[in-house]
Structure 1
């Protein structure tokens, strides 16, 4: 979904939102096929934002084939692999500081850009496509000992049923865990026609054989039995902090690090995220 919709904040009345509602409903009524095609471009095309972090020395780029388009990978360091996955309209560049930290601890930091994001091929992005790309990445590498995921990337990790990921520790940064609710609220706030949106979703469900109502990252996190640390800003405007709080109370495997002053994106290079990574590594070492 375009950043203008996904990262829109609600207001009591918006003339622009009303105009969007009227125009998309009319378009859907008069030219359904063209409206769906146009809506897919608007709703499912991420913005290719490149965060201005300095690229670490020794970074190696690669390619992994995927049905969504070739994925660009970024590898730093040597040793067991920590797989890193960004969120909607994100990119690997957001994780450069954390990747350096991971490599300095004796691990390989392996990140990738989802299709339609960063330096990867493809145009459209949505959760089923994220899961497909994640599984393709996991198939391409061995010795994965942990995962770091941000925002919607956290939902993709929890939705994946790949055997290599079932027992590895997770570091979830500002996770979007109420994915369906978050998605519907974003569309409603934008004023976009719900009927048109549902037609777009129906096409994706049929193409990927992935019913929207089957998406449930919260339940999958509760069912996991591997160490998980969530780092989440209490004032995050885009990912509901209270959901992270609730899940911490519901699972003995999940711990929450509350932070303030970072927001949804800057938290990725916070000291608290670095410390959470070190804690997961230390806990894993104690079990060996």
Structure 2
């Protein structure tokens, strides 16, 4: 069974009801097996693993060992200022190609990560905590090499992972969050229910994964990270985003001073290659 968080199609009502009942019962009667089954259904991105950069080629490649496998990072450009770009669920670093071209022309080095289970990294499963771990390790790698990380740009789930980084890793950096699914877990539960899978199964999986990482998944919500809006954050979001509702972003930033750059008609992913968006990003990066 292939499951996608970025698919608006739901199961037929009758089949969905039966499936929800079955997965709820399984979660109650066989918690360990249900966690194993749930991870294999819900934590597989089924992303396009093979890709090539058409207009620019990496100057170097880096592999980082994480608890779930080896994360692959493509490095572009030369210079002393590094920008990390972090893709979303079911995507890969190739989604940033247009942005990478523009930013390397500005003299930045771009570190474009493929998260575990995505692109050229190893593994077939992934989740938010894995995204967070890989970003954490990558920033620490540059710190150990005494290389300055000037900014982190995250898209979709990569944006939520960025917001969940420890505060000391976000300090003194430009943080740009694009197409952020603010109500990340609520959206997960909604998609799971639409697919005819019991929310109890997802809860079981989230508890199991977070326990392995010594965390509580409730700590990973955007509301739990509201204090990080005090850092140098900028949100970019399209009004017609089908997967990360624009209204959720505006509600989250209500009464906050955090900048929000709005776009129209670009949707969830096309926003990454839009010329005006890239120009806005270069302006944010160059601002004091």
Query: Does TM, scored on the shorter chain, surpass 0.5?
Result: yes
Distance 2:114 2:138 in 1: 10
User: Alpha-carbon deviations, 1:127-180, whole Å to 9, x = none?
Assistant: 111111111111111300111100011111111105232231122110112222
The one of 177, 187, 194 equivalent to 1:189 is 194
Partner of 2:38 in structure 1? 39
RMSD value, Cα? 2.4
The one of 234, 237, 240 equivalent to 2:242 is 237
In the TM superposition, what is the alpha-carbon distance from 1:47 to its structure 2 partner?
A: 1.5
Distance 1:250 1:163 in 2: 25
When structure 1 is superposed on structure 2, of 27-36 and 127-136 the one drifting more is 27-36
CA contact (8 A) 1:231 1:272 kept: no
User: Alpha-carbon deviations, 1:12-63, whole Å to 9, x = none?
Assistant: 9634423432442454466554333222111011122257762513542221
CA change 1:58–1:201 in 2 (3 A) is closer
Partner of 2:23 in structure 1? 24
Partner of 1:8 in structure 2? 7
Aligned length: 282
Name the SS for the 1:172 alignment partner: strand
The answer on 1:147 being equivalent to 2:146 is no
CA contact (8 A) 1:46 1:125 kept: yes
Distance 2:16 2:7 in 1: 11
User: Alpha-carbon deviations, 1:209-229, whole Å to 9, x = none?
Assistant: 111221232452454333332
CA change 1:240–1:100 in 2 (3 A) is same
Segments of structure 1 that go 5 or more residues without pairing to the other structure are none
Distance 2:129 2:170 in 1: 17
Partner of 1:160 in structure 2? 165
Distance 2:140 2:241 in 1: 33
CA change 1:187–1:5 in 2 (3 A) is same
5 Å matches for 1:1-288? 4-9=3-8, 14-28=13-27, 31-49=30-48, 54-79=54-79, 80-141=81-142, 142-161=147-166, 163-252=168-257, 254-284=258-288
When structure 1 is superposed on structure 2, of 274-283 and 69-78 the one drifting more is 274-283
CA change 1:34–1:281 in 2 (3 A) is closer
CA change 1:133–1:22 in 2 (3 A) is same
Name the SS for the 1:90 alignment partner: coil
Name the SS for the 2:280 alignment partner: helix
TM normalised by structure 2 equals 0.88
Distance 2:73 2:161 in 1: 17
CA change 1:35–1:168 in 2 (3 A) is same
TM normalised by structure 1 equals 0.88
User: Alpha-carbon deviations, 1:57-92, whole Å to 9, x = none?
Assistant: 354222122222111011111220011101111110
Distance 1:12 1:115 in 2: 28
